[in-house]
Amino acid sequence: MLAFGALLVSLGSMALAPDTLPLSSATDSIATVVMPAISAAPSRAVRGASDSAQGRPKVVELSDWYYRRLTIHRWVAYGTLPVFAAQWAAGQRLYNDSREAPTWAKTTHRVGATLLAGGFTVNTVTGVWNLWEGRSVSQGRVLRTVHGISMLVADGLFTYAGAKLSDEAEQSADKRQLHRTIALSGMGLATLSGIAMQLWNK
């Protein structure tokens, strides 16, 4: 009781003193000083929760070599298109005439197969390397992954057509048909995958 009385006396003296702030001003002063200190921690927690819930975009840095490899990858890909056309023309003559095909068709087909093997090797290395380095880039990730998988399938088709079926195609019409079907499938898959990347990988 004595403490409660002392508190009332002190409040009364504050109200009567001319140089003392009114109670409302004192309350406002306390609010402006104390409230930010109390509310600061909850506001940071809300912002952090909001950031984690919305998923702020993360900055991903790609090396200069990423873009160098990408440039090489693209130009090699462009270069395969005329080789595809030459392979189709020469391969059609070999398919129709077999060993009686003209020399230009045989030579063009061998040189074209070698160029494709080298070009696809370069693009497999640069493509897989860039796919791994850019794995944290979410934009276009599905398209890049589908492109990578489809080009690896095309690699397999060309390898099988060249390494396994090329010699057998000279001896058997069935193997020649299979060689042609697999080679054209690889060309079509690689071309469609490249066009998709050119159109939609922006």
- The yes-or-no verdict on residue 42 having pLDDT over 50 is no
Q: Give the range among 12-26, 90-104, 157-171 with minimum mean pLDDT.
A: 12-26
Last residue of a domain, one of 33, 54, 75: 54
Domain count across the chain: 2
Are residues 22 and 69 located together in one domain of the fold?
Answer: no
Residues 162, 90, single domain; the answer is yes
**One domain, residues 41 and 110:** no
pLDDT at residue 111, rounded to an integer? 96
* pLDDT for the residue numbered 57: 64
**Co-location of 121 and 39 in the same domain:** no
Question: Does a structural domain hold residue 113?
Answer: yes
Residue 165 CB: number of other CB atoms within 10 A? 20
In a domain, 114, yes or no: yes
Q: Tell me whether residue 59 is in a domain.
A: no
More confident residue, 96 or 129: 129
Which tokens go with 202? 């922006």
Instruction: Supply the pTM of this predicted model.
Output: 0.68
Domain identity same for 150 and 86: yes
- In this predicted structure, the answer to whether residue 169 has a pLDDT above a threshold of 60 is yes
pLDDT at 56: 67
Mean pLDDT of 75-93: 96
User: The dihedral of CA 167, 172, 173, 174: what is its sign?
Assistant: negative
Contacts 24+ apart (CB under 8 A), 182-189: 182/157, 183/87, 183/91, 183/157, 183/158, 184/88, 185/157, 186/154, 186/157, 186/158, 186/161, 187/84, 187/87, 187/88, 189/150, 189/153, 189/154, 189/157
* Chain position carrying tokens 């440039």: 71
Each residue of 107-153: pLDDT tens digit?
999 999 999 999 999 999 999 999 999 999 998 999 999 999 999 99
Does 90 map to a domain?
yes
Q: So what's the pLDDT on residue 191? A: 97
For the chain, what percent of residues have pLDDT higher than 70? 71
Q: Are residues 78 and 176 in the same domain?
A: yes
| Residue-wise pLDDT tens digits, 2-37 | 444 444 444 444 444 444 434 444 444 333 333 333
pLDDT recorded at residue 61: 87
Determine, yes or no, domain membership for 126: yes
* Full domain range(s) for residue 160: 64-200
Do residue 37 and residue 68 come from a single domain?
no
Residues 40 and 109 in one domain: no
